[in-house]
Amino acid sequence: MSLAYEGRADTMQDALRRAANMPGPHITLREILATIGDHGPLILCAVLSVPFLLPVSIPGVSTVFGLAILLLGLGITLNRMPWLPRQIMDRKINAAKLSGVLARGIDIVARIETAIRPRLGLLTQGTVAGRVNGLAIVAGAVLLMLPLGLVPFSNTLPACAIMLLCIGMTQRDGALVLGGYAMLIATVAYFSVLAYAAMAAGRGLATLLGSG
């Protein structure tokens, strides 16, 4: 089934508010998707990236949301309705913690939405743009899922890239899409510096132990 990214009356703030007000001690991704409704995969990816923008740890979120964003990104790239496995859709998440994070994320989204306007249509319109941007979302999800939870900004940078890409595509704002690519490049550069520093430290330790 093909995906259509048409303009919608509701904003992402509205979608976040509905998701943040879901009742119950636990909620699942299936319930979140039903609450968001017809906003589609792009808005869902943006909503799922919100918890990674804040310094809060919610058990189970990293794996479930990261995989969901990855699979949704593949669906966007292939221009097909994405399939999500039951293990991801029905994984229980602490509702109180997630609702608090989503509510705080509304302020972030509000600041982004004040700057939104249609521009640089070449980056948001057409099959080629959709597939290239979808691949960028997949890349962001892969970077998001790397086991670097204790490293500062390791989740924030790729999550910001995903959010900017998704909102830019839904609102036909190529400037936001460019911002998403800039954040992806910043993430890769940051992780490369970390990897180089780790390798240099390893070599230094090996030299120290060898000389001893």
For residue 64, the model assigns a pLDDT of 81
Q: Are the CB atoms for 133 and 165 separated by under 8 Å?
A: yes
- pLDDT, average across residues 172-176: 93
- Residue predicted with more confidence, 153 or 180: 180
pLDDT (tens digit, 9 = 90+) per residue, 100-155?
888 878 888 888 888 888 899 889 888 899 899 999 999 999 998 887 767 788 88
Whole-model pTM over 0.85: no
Handedness of CA 109, 166, 126, 29 (dihedral sign): negative
Distances 34 to 46, 95, 164 between C-alpha atoms, Å: 15, 15, 23
* Average pLDDT of the residues of the chain: 81
pLDDT tens digits along 20-41: 888 778 888 878 777 776 556 7
Q: How far, in Å, CA of 180 to CA of 176, rounded? A: 6
Q: How many CA atoms lie within 13 A of 102 on its CB side?
A: 25
Judge contact between 50 and 101, C-beta under 8 A.
yes
Bridge partners (DSSP) listed for residue 119: 173
How distant, in Å, are the alpha carbons of 15, 17, 64, 79, 152 from that of 51? 14, 14, 12, 26, 15
Share of the chain above pLDDT 90, in %: 23
pLDDT of residue 204: 75
pLDDT at 48: 85
What is the model's pLDDT at position 7? Answer: 41
